[in-house]
Structure 1
Amino acid sequence: MDKKIVTTAALFGMVAIILGAFGAHALKKVLSVEQLTTFETGVRYQMYHALFLLFIGTTTIINQKIKKRIYNLVVYGVIFFSVSIYFLATNSLTHIDFKMMGFITPVGGLFLISAWFVLIFDLIAPKKKKNNI
């Protein structure tokens, strides 16, 4: 599981850098300042969560069950939050109206918040001792 988490972190990070560069160079010419700022928000949150997954995949203080739960929340969160923002920010460049996807963005945000909550809860919750007699 750890290798899968770290691999996903690397993929999310790489894609965030590519999209950030694309936004700064190619999209700068065709999007408004507001649209570009929105696009950059998606990139920024994707990168934050790539780093979060990198931490989750390399730490030993979290058990595998919790890591899997956090991983799933982050993956779905990034897809729903960042990807929907990419489509919404570039909506004017296509013939498809992505505004109908707008409701997905806060759902993705909720998944991302939930991933952090799961980590916090796991770290502060009292642990049961295995050999408790």
Structure 2
Amino acid sequence: MSQPTSSSPLLPRRPSFVTPSVLWKTGAIIAAVGVMAGAFGAHGLKRRPRITADNIHAWETASHYAVFNGLALLLISMHPRFSSHRFSGPAIAGGGLVFSGSIMALVLWRDRFRWLGPVTPLGGVIMIAGYLSLAF
């Protein structure tokens, strides 16, 4: 049996689904969804029954975060070190989707999805952890 070297780790590396291409595509889709959600919030949301100014403000926040996270993923996908980081991209994408998606679902269907209220901050925490992981 041969001794492990720096080029042959004790445990083989698992292939990662996080690639620059996946991050780029995910970022583009999330940014596009954020822009579309913003347009819907500016034009179509006001026509729905029981929509208040607070609902519109929450929707704007959710769509802005979607755009910001999408753009961040586009930038991360171009970085030589972070484009294959196993945690940051998925955490930003997943946390951002949970954060923005839960806010949008609460605005549209508050009565059906009340349980999403406590889920929104969890998405935010995961998203923040993804950004913080870029610092280390």
* TM-score, length-scaled by structure 2: 0.79
Q: Which residue does 2:122 correspond to in 1?
A: 107
Query: Which amino acid in 1 is paired with 2:117?
Result: G
Is 1:39 aligned to 2:54, yes or no?
A: no
Deviation at 1:63, TM superposition (A): 6.1
Which structure 1 segments of 5+ residues have no match? 122-133
- Normalized per residue, which structure has more helix? 1
Q: Which residue does 1:54 correspond to in 2?
A: 74
Structure 1 distance, partners of 2:132, 2:36, is 29
Where do 1:51-130 residues align within 5 Å? 51-62=71-82, 64=84, 66=85, 68-91=86-109, 96-121=111-136
Q: Deviations over 1:99-124 (max 9, x none)?
A: 11111101000011101110012xxx
SS in 1 for 2:94: helix
Q: Which has the larger radius of gyration?
A: 2
Structure 2 distance, partners of 1:63, 1:10, is 15
Structure 2 distance, partners of 1:62, 1:76, is 16
* TM-score, length-scaled by structure 1: 0.81
Structure 2 distance, partners of 1:16, 1:2, is 21
Deviation at 1:16, TM superposition (A): 0.7
Q: Is the 8 A contact 2:77 2:83 kept in 1?
A: no
Q: Is the 8 A contact 2:62 2:99 kept in 1?
A: yes
Deviation at 1:80, TM superposition (A): 1.3
- The runs of at least 4 consecutive aligned structure 1 residues that moved more than 3 Å come to none
Q: Deviations over 1:48-86 (max 9, x none)?
A: 10011011101114362x2x3112101210221000000
Could you tell me the percent identity over the aligned residues? Answer: 28
Q: Is the 8 A contact 2:23 2:83 kept in 1?
A: no
Deviation at 1:29, TM superposition (A): 2.5
Q: Is the 8 A contact 2:31 2:71 kept in 1?
A: yes
Deviation at 1:28, TM superposition (A): 2.0
